[in-house]
């Protein structure tokens, strides 16, 4: 039996001059693992996936930023 309850709630923060920020609820996000064990967060309502980089990607990104 699968659990369809989101792990996270996704919001879009709208800055408003002279007022409190407005938190616009966009939907749910689901934490899962990839086949190779990396963390992944799926946001179906936005057709968006956040994916933890592979170790070799992390090393190349840190050298690109210097």
CA distance 8 to 16: 24
More confident: 56 or 3: 56
Q: Which two tokens stand for residue 13?
A: 């923060």
Q: 59: left (phi > 0), else alpha (psi -120 to 50), else beta?
A: alpha
Q: Which two tokens stand for residue 66?
A: 């210097």
Read off the pLDDT of residues 37-59 as tens digits, 9 standing for 90 and up: 999 999 999 999 999 998 887 66
């Amino acid at each position: 039996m699968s659990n369809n309850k989101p792990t996270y709630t996704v919001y879009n923060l709208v800055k408003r001059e002279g007022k409190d920020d407005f938190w616009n609820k966009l939907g749910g996000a689901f934490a899962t693992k990839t086949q190779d064990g990396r963390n992944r967060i799926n946001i179906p309502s936005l057709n968006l996936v956040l994916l933890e980089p592979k170790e070799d990607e992390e090393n190349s990104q840190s050298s690109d930023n210097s």
